[in-house]
Every structure is written in C-alpha cells, then in structure tokens.
C-alpha cells in the first residue's frame, strides 16, 4: 500500500510556475528510465528539441532536471550549498563497487588525489608510464617482425596495452613481471567494465548479476597482494600503496579498502585505452589528419639533435605538439560523455545566462551532459558529427580557444574532463599517457586498416554518461614492426 501511495504521489506531480518543463513519460514510476538507459544522447536530444535547454524528466520514481546551456553551467557547478555532489556519488559507489565509505570526506580525498597527480609526482608517474608502455609494446613487437603482419582489433590492442602499462604504473608491485597475473587482471577488468553500465542502472539480469559479483570478488582478490596486510617500507611505495595508507588514515576498514581498489582501478584505467582507440581510429580513417600528425612527429625528431635516434621521442612531453593536441581535443569532443550530476539538497532557484530563472525542488537531481552541449552542439561546432582534426587549431597553428554560441564567447566549448571541483584529477597523466602511446605506435609500427574502406565503428549507446564511450564492435587493423633505416 505504501508503495502504491508513493507511486500515486510521484505520478501526480505537476509543473509549478517557474519550474522547468516537466516530462513524465507514459510509464508509471519508471517514466523515461528505459529510453534514458538505452541511449541517453538520443533521448536527451529528443527532449531538448521538445523543451529547449532545460527540462525535468521522471526516471524511476525520481525527477531529474537536465540543463543543456553551457553558458549557464557555472550557476550549477558553483553552488555547493543547495547542490550536493557526494550523495549520488555514494549511491553509485555502493551500486557499482559494493563500496560504502561512511566517513568519506570528498575534500580530503580530492586533495590527496591532486597531490599525487601533479608536480613532481606527475612527472615521476609519467616517466614510469613511459617505461611500461615501452616494455608492453616491445612484448607486442616480439611477436611481430618486419616481414609479417599481425592482425587485431584496434580497441583490444589499445585498451589492453594502455591498461597494462597504466596498471603497472599505479598498482605495480614486486610481481610486476608476472605476465599471466597482468593478463588475468585485464581480462577480469574487461568483464566487469562490460557490466558496469547495467550495474549502475540496476538492470542486470539474474545471470549477469552473478557474473558481476564473481568478477568483483576476483578483482578484489587480484588487487590485494600480500603486502596489503603486511604493510611495507615507504621507499618504494606504489601509488596504490600510498592510497591505501591514505584510506587507513581516514579510518576505512580493511574490507572497504580492498573494495576501494576496484573503484580506483576503474577511475584510473577505464578511460585512456578507449580514448587512444578513438584517436587512432580517426587518424586511420582520415588520411589528411594522419599526414599532419606524422609531419609533426617528423619535426620533433629533427629537433632532437637533428638526427634520428633509436628512441627519439623520450622527451616528448617537453615538446609542443599543437596538431596532436587538436586531434586529441577533437577526439574527446566526439567521444567523452560523462553525465555530471548533483542532488538538490534544498530548494533552489537556478538563474540561467538568458536571464530566466527556474525553481528546483529539494530531493530532485540536476544534471549537465556536456556531450550534447557544448560538444555536439551545432550552434557551437560546425558539423559536430564530423571529425575535423584542426578544429582546435588557429590558422597560425596555435591552439584555438575562441568559440561562440549566439554571439557569446564560451568558457566551456568542450568538457571531456568535467568541470569545477570534480574535474578529472588525472587529466594531465591521461594526456601524457595517450600521447606517449600514440607516438610510440606511430613511430615503431606500420599500422593500417585491414579493410581500407572500413569506417570508425558506431558507439555503444548504453555507455553515454559513463566517461569515455566505447565502440560497438571493433576496427580490424594489421601492423608490423617498422624497418628502421
């Protein structure tokens, strides 16, 4: 009865004066949940066409207001009194990672992360990453020769290489050379990653639920090496070990420490591989872009003492690479699709750049989805569906930062890393890893499409809202060791 009363209560909500347009959908309680989960980009585009830049939809008994005007994002991101980030984050943590951190303090966590992903720590991590990428690629090369082509899916190739190198960099410990263990962690991670969107939406079928649970257990086990209980001297601590000490200081119990490792594995390894995949896919299918990037690499090589060296790109991060940077920004514009969510903890009036004000109700959630706007907004980016490698370049070759909507210059013209206090803390590390990887692949391997007429595979639409998108299917490539002259 209680449930029924609740259903009726929720169903009977109607739009009040000064509230955003309300769209409850036809299905009681669920509202738009199915359409939202199936393809959030398509659904929200439809709502935007129907209602404009702000609207409220019903999803699983709750109400979500979606704001799609980038000139108004700061009003939402800056409000830390009426809007709360961590409550919904905690819900997801519990749902996806079975993780409960009751005394969780997002500010100390954030401060810890920032300290470990910038300055000297960042430089150390990036150079460790470089070494591991070289080793991983060399292992891949060992099974290659200049005479024989190897064939593989590009997504598999990028994800596995970047995952392995990233994992060794942050989680690597004594047994770093254990190739089998590394392969097991990667395989298990992909299983878990494949179920993640459904976990978040609680839409797993019985069998999938079991698979997800098993995968979680295995990963918790794999991520808790022997030193976890022993503790270890501080000289050669990995990032993971430092993070564990941090959790201990915060009073997190051992079981939750174990579980937190999987959350961190996903946050740190789930995005770079897919990003590198999209970037190389776009280069392989856009010869003009590939030529421009190769030209830039050749230029860097010449700068290095004017001669070809064996590993000429070791100091890559210190070079400016505007063409590559534009290619990366353009790739992320097309394929980074996080949903930024806040919970309304007290009634609030949201004042938009247009001057209009809307009332938000306590208990609702409010989201921005930068993928739709600014990233795919035709008023901001001409032909937004098209990959245009020099979209973020000025005519003089410098980075283009001026973009407009309705004559108004935009602060947010692309937002792959999110914004405000929850902006990706690992972004510099991510960029340096992707850059190292792409430059290594292009300098050491001959890489080409198996089918020269192949196109970039479509996006798996269930992943909108979870960071980097992933392809439905893969792009078959072949590669062989470059003959060095």
Report the interface residues with ligand HEM, using CB under 6 A. Answer: 110, 113, 267-268, 271-272, 275, 332, 336, 338, 340, 416-418, 422, 424-426, 429-430, 467-468
Which CB, 172 or 418, lies closer to ligand HEM? 418
Instruction: Determine the Cα–Cα distance for residues 444 and 456; give it in Å rounded to an integer.
Output: 23
Q: For residue 338, list its beta bridge partners.
A: 465
Which CB, 47 or 77, lies closer to ligand HEM? 77
CB of residue 373 vs ligand HEM: minimum separation in angstroms?
15
CB of residue 255 vs ligand HEM: minimum separation in angstroms?
21
Contact 483, 350 (CB under 8 A): no
CB of residue 328 vs ligand HEM: minimum separation in angstroms?
9
Please report the DSSP string for 77-116 in residue order.
Answer: HT--SSEESHHHHHHHHHHHH----TT--HHHHHHHHHHH
Sign of the four-CA dihedral 322, 73, 47, 57: positive
Which CB, 122 or 211, lies closer to ligand HEM? 122
Q: 297: part of which helix (H) or strand (E)?
A: helix 287-303
Instruction: Determine the Cα–Cα distance for residues 296 and 239; give it in Å rounded to an integer.
Output: 33
CB of residue 267 vs ligand HEM: minimum separation in angstroms?
4
Find where tokens 């309304």 sit: 344
Instruction: Determine the Cα–Cα distance for residues 316 and 436; give it in Å rounded to an integer.
Output: 7
CB of residue 427 vs ligand HEM: minimum separation in angstroms?
6
CA dihedral 184, 236, 159, 388 (to 10 degrees): 170
CB of residue 244 vs ligand HEM: minimum separation in angstroms?
15
Measured at CB, which residue is nearest to ligand HEM?
426
Which CB, 47 or 272, lies closer to ligand HEM? 272
CB of residue 171 vs ligand HEM: minimum separation in angstroms?
11
Which CB, 29 or 329, lies closer to ligand HEM? 329
Q: How many CB atoms lie within 10 A of CB 474?
A: 17
Which CB, 123 or 357, lies closer to ligand HEM? 123
Inter-CA distances, 201 with 205, 370, 399, Å: 12, 20, 39
CA dihedral 320, 326, 332, 334 (to 10 degrees): -170
Which CB, 108 or 379, lies closer to ligand HEM? 108
CB of residue 271 vs ligand HEM: minimum separation in angstroms?
3
Which CB, 369 or 403, lies closer to ligand HEM? 369
């Amino acid at each position: 009865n209680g449930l029924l009363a609740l259903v009726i209560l929720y169903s009977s909500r109607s739009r009040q004066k000064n509230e955003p347009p309300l769209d409850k959908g036809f299905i009681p309680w669920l509202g738009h949940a199915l359409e939202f989960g199936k393809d959030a980009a398509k659904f929200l585009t439809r709502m935007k066409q129907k209602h404009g830049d702000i609207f409220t939809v019903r999803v699983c008994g709750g109400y979500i207001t979606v704001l799609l005007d980038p000139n108004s994002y700061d009003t939402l991101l800056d409000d830390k009194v009426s809007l709360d980030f961590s409550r919904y984050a905690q819900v997801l943590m519990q749902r996806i990672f079975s993780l409960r951190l009751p005394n969780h303090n997002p500010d100390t966590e954030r401060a810890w992360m920032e300290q470990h992903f910038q300055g000297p720590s960042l430089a150390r991590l990036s150079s460790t990453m470089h070494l591991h990428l070289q080793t991983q690629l060399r292992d891949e090369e060992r099974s290659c020769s200049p005479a024989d082509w190897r064939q593989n899916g590009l997504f598999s190739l990028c994800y596995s290489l970047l995952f392995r190198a990233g994992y060794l960099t942050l989680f690597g410990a004594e047994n770093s050379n254990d190739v089998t263990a590394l392969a097991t962690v990667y395989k298990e991670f992909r299983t878990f990653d494949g179920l993640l969107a459904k976990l978040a939406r609680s839409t797993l079928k019985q069998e999938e639920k079991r698979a997800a649970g098993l995968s979680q257990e295995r990963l918790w086990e794999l991520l808790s090496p022997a030193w976890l209980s022993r503790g270890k001297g501080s000289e050669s601590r990995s990032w993971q070990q430092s993070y564990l000490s941090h959790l201990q200081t915060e009073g997190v119990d051992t079981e939750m420490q174990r579980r937190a490792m999987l959350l961190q594995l996903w946050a740190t390894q789930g995005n770079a591989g897919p990003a590198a995949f999209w970037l190389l896919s776009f280069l392989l299918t856009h010869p003009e872009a590939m030529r421009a990037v190769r030209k830039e690499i050749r230029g860097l090589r010449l700068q290095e003492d004017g001669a070809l060296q064996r590993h000429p790109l070791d100091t890559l991060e210190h070079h400016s690479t505007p063409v590559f940077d534009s290619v990366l920004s353009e790739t992320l514009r097309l394929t980074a699709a996080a949903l930024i969510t806040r919970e309304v903890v007290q009634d609030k009036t949201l004042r938009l750049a247009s001057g209009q004000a809307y009332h938000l109700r306590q208990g609702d959630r409010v989201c921005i989805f930068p993928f739709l706007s600014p990233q795919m907004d035709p008023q901001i980016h001409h032909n937004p569906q098209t990959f245009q490698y020099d979209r973020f370049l000025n005519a003089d070759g410098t980075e283009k930062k001026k973009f407009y909507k309705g004559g108004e210059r935009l602060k947010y013209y692309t937002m792959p890393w999110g914004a405000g206090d929850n902006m990706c803390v690992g972004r510099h590390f991510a960029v340096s890893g992707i850059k190292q990887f792409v430059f290594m692949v292009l300098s050491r391997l001959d890489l080409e499409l198996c089918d020269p007429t192949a196109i970039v595979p479509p996006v798996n639409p269930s992943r909108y809202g979870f960071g980097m998108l992933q392809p439905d299917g893969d792009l078959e490539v072949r590669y062989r060791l470059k003959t060095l002259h």
